[in-house]
Structure 1
């Protein structure tokens, strides 16, 4: 089968590799139809790299496709079912798994960065990591289930009420998913980004306000618009805790979602105390895949608008580069 392999910083190769087979009783063999490009894929391929991937493995973790084979113990899905893939294989044995915190598993196998991913024609995944989705959902939209499930973990930690103000720092696909979910809750959403095209896109999707931090002071802008600051601030970038602390209102909540392993922001701890802020981390998905599937199947938010580039597997590097250059909001690689 053909697959997109990570060959080190700035290097990706699409080549023929052995097709996976059903070997374990809980294996599910999936014919992959579409894979979303994630920011971690972009950072791993950056020069120098900003995220560490294992060299030589198949990229991709935001996958969807059709079941074409199952192990002897598989009962939840059958050949012909369309599924989306949970990419973080938890062990089920460590303290965190046994206390319900599967996203904090101490023995994770991360599809697409530590073991082979799904940016290929086929993938073999344990049954507990796949979720059925309606065959009527186009593959490029179904591929949005994984990032949506991750964002839902964040919004579940910080729910907005109608009329409240939410500030989203970062207008990439994750920031836009946060915006859509908070809009659905009835909040006024302000989106901040340094890219004017991304800000225009956010405005087209209904952002109440947009602000470019290269042109305006974001906390001052929020104070001018609201008089008190934001009820909820989401850092979808991973380097903007300083801004989030200053922009949040007294008693507000900050959700840290973006990941940047080299960022070391200065923390204004006294501001956290004086303003009695709540700061929560939201790491990947935590029991939110069924909710994500329901949202997509029932068109509860327009996730399809975020997919602005669809390319075949052979053009994977081009698709990733376009997203890295902010010329695509969300790139989806299509296989079948």
Structure 2
């Protein structure tokens, strides 16, 4: 009988309270058992909004009890299966966390982000908030070793936002409004700014408004103190060409401030929210409303953007914490006193 090799990991406890919600504990270290697998020594994992909601008390997002959390990961390849060809031992890699089946109708029509048989790491199966992760080769992308791991870990949220911005691109001179200045909203703002748009970020939190300006936003508005529509129409009388709901409950506001013929991207995910949508202005303005869900073929582009430094995504990381301070990082994001929090393993 052989002893199982162990490692540190953050393990979700559905019935835990406080620190017991996701204790840092010893868990079995994974190993390459199939020819298409890659073993990664994790160096950095950024905290996602879904992690924040799942680790709330009570949980507001459904994670499988007992799994290792975390899905925005970067690390170094430590071992590969015999059939692996897209990376080698020693490479720095980022991880696509949404393992699509390739067989369901959605996958077979190219909509891999809508797979009916997803296996998501970090909420359905063991994730990256641990010392090691083992995953299929097709879910791994090599990134330049010169990119710091705490920045490379942002490839996953960037790839998700790129699914929205490539579907609904801005044109030079467009008036873009991003509703919500959390990390996702700020990535939208950076990308649309890089496309030549005039970008407004609507965000009640003072810390994140200041961060939005530092990342290149042209205007920031506190919608709790200033009427957003009135403020916008002072410099964009017809309204916005493109609006992003980065929160998940802001569609009525987006419709209200939309210019005729405008486009609206709905990215924010809120499983418990219900909003009343006025139908008439959608028709009368001929609005396009597009849902955008996770990433679809945009990981390579995300890697290129991070490697190029074309947007200041490095400034989005405001806190870097050890694994033992995961819940401190969660608390920073709950309070809105952080941009992106990265856990370094």
Per the normalisation by structure 2, the TM-score is 0.95
The answer to whether structure 1 residue 182 and structure 2 residue 192 are counterparts is: yes
Residue 48 (structure 1) shift: 2.5
Name the structure 2 match of 1:168: 178
Name the structure 2 match of 1:39: 49
Pairing of 1:9-158 with structure 2 (within 5 A): 10=18, 11-158=21-168
Poorly superposed stretches of 4+, deviation over 6 Å: none
Q: State which drifts further: 289-298 or 206-215.
A: 206-215
Name the structure 1 match of 2:12: 6
Secondary structure in 1 matching 2:28: coil
1:209 maps to which of 210, 219, 222: 219
2:206 maps to which of 196, 211, 224: 196
Measure the CA separation in 2 of the matches of 1:165 and 1:46. 36
Residue 46 (structure 1) shift: 1.3
Residue 280 (structure 1) shift: 0.3
Measure the CA separation in 1 of the matches of 2:186 and 2:230. 22
The answer to whether structure 1 residue 297 and structure 2 residue 297 are counterparts is: no
Q: Deviations over 1:234-279 (max 9, x none)?
A: 0001111110110111100000001000111101111100010000
Pairing of 1:184-333 with structure 2 (within 5 A): 184-333=194-343
Secondary structure in 2 matching 1:17: strand
Unmatched segments (≥5 aa) in structure 1: none
Give the RMSD, CA atoms, in angstroms.
0.9
Residue 90 (structure 1) shift: 0.2
Unmatched segments (≥5 aa) in structure 2: 1-6
Measure the CA separation in 1 of the matches of 2:299 and 2:55. 27
Residue 330 (structure 1) shift: 0.6
Q: State which drifts further: 213-222 or 175-184.
A: 213-222
Residue 30 (structure 1) shift: 0.3
Per the normalisation by structure 1, the TM-score is 0.98
Query: How many correspondences in the alignment?
Result: 335
Residue 205 (structure 1) shift: 2.2
